[in-house]
Amino acid sequence: MANAVEVKDDTFATEIEEQAGLSVVDFWATWCAPCRMIAPIVEQLAADYAGKVKVAKLDVDNNQRTAAKFNVRSIPTILFFKDGKLVDQVVGAVPRPALEAKFKEHA
């Protein structure tokens, strides 16, 4: 997780909701196989869009308050925030082109 930052219930507002520009948050868990499948894609996109998009990861097992706030019921769920406001989401393990299209759409 060299390019993505870890966010928690206590840091989510500061790290994501109070940020200008595009922030992308990957809601995941260690036991989730589809989450592990897309993790390298998320990490690569974080590297490719460094300086343009803030990419973060939130472990839903340890941060249930934030997951509940955004009604995350299945993982992986990737939420897109523009200037702190939720603007889009992707649910499930999707191929890189689908995820990158969302990055391009909102960046």
Domain boundaries, given as residue ranges, for the chain: 5-106
Residues whose CB falls within 8 Å of the CB of residue 69, separated by 6 or more in sequence, listed in order = none
pLDDT of residue 107: 87
> Any idea which residues carry the catalytic annotation?
32, 35
Q: Are strands 77-82 and 53-59 parallel, antiparallel or unpaired?
A: unpaired
Type and span of the H or E element at 81: strand 77-82
- The answer to whether residue 1 scores a pLDDT higher than 70 is no
| Residue 67: per-residue pLDDT | 98
pLDDT tens digits, residue range 11-56? Answer: 999 999 999 999 999 999 999 999 999 999 999 999 999 999 999 9
In DSSP terms, which residues pair with 78 in a beta bridge? Answer: 26, 90
Judge whether 15 and 57 are in contact, CB under 8 Å: no
Average pLDDT, the chain: 96
Q: pLDDT at residue 2 above 90? A: no
Q: Could you tell me the fold of the domain covering 5-106?
A: Glutaredoxin (3.40.30)
Mean pLDDT of 51-64: 97
pTM of the model: 0.96
